[in-house]
Amino acid sequence: MIPLAPGATIGIIGGGQLGRMSAIAAARLGYLTHIFTPEASSPAAQVSGTTTVAEYTDHDALRQFADNVDVITFEFENLPAESLDLLSSLKPVRPGAKILRISQDRLLEKQFLNDIGIPTAPWGPVHDESELVDEAQRHDLPCVIKTTRLGYDGKGQKLCRTEADCCDAFETLEPKPLILEAFVDFHSEISVIVARGENGDMSSFDPVENRHKNHILDVTLAPAPLPLETLAEATGMARRIAEKLELVGLLAVEMFVTATGTLSVNEIAPRPHNSGHWTLDACPASQFEMHIRAITGLPLPPATRHSDAVMKNLVGPEDIAAWSAILATPGLIPHHYGKTEARPGRKMGHFTRLFPRGSLPGAFGIDAALTLSDD
């Protein structure tokens, strides 16, 4: 691929904070960005030269958007299949349609991962009630029943401890089909982010630990405090997935780690990821820069970190209410997403605290690191 020259335009589908931070990274590399989003006022549009505000199903608007950009990428991967096909017929779409299809559908995703030898929780498809009964009998309870499409931040899934819970989940979760997964009794949740160029070069960031509150990412610890062999195995899995997908772009791989160090992949996302925000401040090239480099054909530098980091998400009105205190606390690196309305559960920003490489503190130190000056 001939690298795109400065001045070229990157089309980004989706207008959220991932698009915003991608657009900032693109600008630093000399590119223009054009955002496509149904939102009238969006975090990404605030920092991009051009925005198309239209539905993801509006083919005329998609055609015009494609006419005006040199390459198309995503910060939101749930674009309808026909829209994706249309864009792919008009301009290079990176990552490609095949990867998006797999990551949009938990059944295709789990099947793909198992086919290439990547472990996941045991699972089965649930299209109807008879399959629900079969799968519930085949797997021990508890289990987790999820929608196969459009689930995020714990939405569209239910932990089931009894058969009655399974029936209840089947009644309430939409759209069908569903997927039933064995419950993984994990010690921690980690993720690995890997960038891959068209020439097959890859750069992967160190695995990080992710802690959730109310099913939403709360804190990321970089690097994950785990044995080196576990970290190496996790990295190997993420790189294998990227290679087998023939990824051109960025891929985040979320995994469970059990107390004995066994890994299983929970899900993959072919885009920048919330658990990679620490890279903005702790690495010479962030996940957003890697993403832009991969899709524009620029070389991928090693994904090294110069510092250890703790990243804290600011979710909903309660967290963002502390914005002034965050700004007043020495050592915190603030990132605001420019959203004016703070709804419960909405990601409003994040902050990062850096530590010299190799000195990420233990649990008590992390609490102290997140304490604000006027707390």
Among 135, 189, 206, 319, binds ligand AMP (CB under 6 A): 189
Among 212, 213, 306, 343, binds ligand AMP (CB under 6 A): 212
Q: Which of residues 89-108 bind ligand AMP (CB under 6 A)?
A: none
Nearer to ligand AMP (CB atom), residue 2 or residue 259: 259
Provide the minimum distance between the beta carbon of 363 and ligand AMP in the complex, in angstroms, as a whole number: 19
Nearer to ligand AMP (CB atom), residue 183 or residue 323: 183
How many residues touch ligand AMP (CB under 6 A)? 13
Q: Which of residues 258-277 bind ligand AMP (CB under 6 A)?
A: 266-267
Nearer to ligand AMP (CB atom), residue 120 or residue 286: 120
Q: Kindly report the three-state secondary structure assignment for every residue of the chain.
A: CCCCCCCCEEEEECCCHHHHHHHHHHHHCCCEEEEEECCCCCCCHHHCCEEEECCCCCHHHHHHHHHCCCEEEECCCCCCHHHHHHHHHHCCECCCHHHHHHHHCHHHHHHHHHHCCCCCCCEEEECCHHHHHHHHHHCCCCEEEEECCCCCCCCCEEEECCHHHHHHHHHHCCCCCEEEEECCCCCEEEEEEEEECCCCCEEECCCEEEEEECCEEEEEEECCCCCHHHHHHHHHHHHHHHHHCCCCEEEEEEEEECCCCCEEEEEEECCCCHHHCCHHHHCCCCHHHHHHHHHHCCCCCCCCCCEEEEEEEEEHHHHHCCHHHHHCCCCEEEEECCCCCCCCCCEEEEEEEEEECCCCCCHHHHHHHCCCCCC
Among 184, 245, 265, 269, binds ligand AMP (CB under 6 A): 184
Question: Within 10 Å of residue 229's Cβ, how many Cβ atoms?
Answer: 9
Provide the minimum distance between the beta carbon of 179 and ligand AMP in the complex, in angstroms, as a whole number: 10
Nearer to ligand AMP (CB atom), residue 151 or residue 316: 151
Nearer to ligand AMP (CB atom), residue 206 or residue 267: 267
Provide the minimum distance between the beta carbon of 267 and ligand AMP in the complex, in angstroms, as a whole number: 5
Over the window 119 to 158, marking each residue x when it contacts ligand AMP by CB under 6 A and - when it does not, the resulting string is --x----------------------x------x--x--x-
Q: Does 77 bind ligand AMP (CB under 6 A)?
A: no
Provide the minimum distance between the beta carbon of 188 and ligand AMP in the complex, in angstroms, as a whole number: 10
Nearer to ligand AMP (CB atom), residue 93 or residue 263: 263
Provide the minimum distance between the beta carbon of 268 and ligand AMP in the complex, in angstroms, as a whole number: 10
Residues lying near ligand AMP in the complex (CB under 6 A) are found at: 121, 144, 151, 154, 157, 181, 183-184, 189, 212, 215, 266-267
